[in-house]
Amino acid sequence: DAGITQSPRHKVTETGTPVTLRCHQTENHRYMYWYRQDPGHGLRLIHYSYGVKDTDKGEVSDGYSVSRSKTEDFLLTLESATSSQTSVYFCAISESIGSGPNEQFFGPGTRLTVL
């Protein structure tokens, strides 16, 4: 299995509270991604990173920010959590694309509940 961990694995918080989710990899992969998974929507990309301090927005980035100060860590922050951000969050990593896309490896997920 690819070395990807997510912390915390479960979190319950209240509306308006800041929340930070951490993704840590031991594979030295260049690309890292944050997705959210909701019933009936599949996985939707929130933000991604293509290198240290290089990040960009995905499909559903409103209300989220990210940071990547080291190759191995990619942080997702909800500045002020809302109930609509209750979801399961997955981190993924992949290596340089080259002539085509390489496989994305997924972490175990973080279940976030915003009350």
Instruction: Tell me which residues touch other proteins (CB under 8 A).
Output: 33, 40-45, 48, 50, 58, 90, 92, 96-101, 103-109
At closest approach, how far in Å is the CB of 90 from other proteins?
A: 6
Q: Cis (ω within 30 of 0) for the bond into 8?
A: yes
Q: Which residues contact 42 (CB under 8 A, 6 or more apart)?
A: none
Contact call for residues 91 and 32 (beta carbons, < 8 A): yes
Smallest gap from residue 45 Cβ to other proteins (A): 6
Which residue, 79 or 97, has its beta carbon nearer to other proteins? 97
Shortest Å, Cβ 27 to other proteins: 14
Cβ closest to other proteins, residue 43 vs residue 75? 43
How far is 40 from 23, CA to CA, in rounded Å? 25
Helix (H, G, I), strand (E, B) or coil at 24: strand
Instruction: Indicate the residue among 77 and 102 with the shorter CB distance to other proteins.
Output: 102
User: Which residue in the block uniquely carries the two structure tokens 């009936």?
Assistant: 40
CB of 11 to other proteins, least distance (A): 16
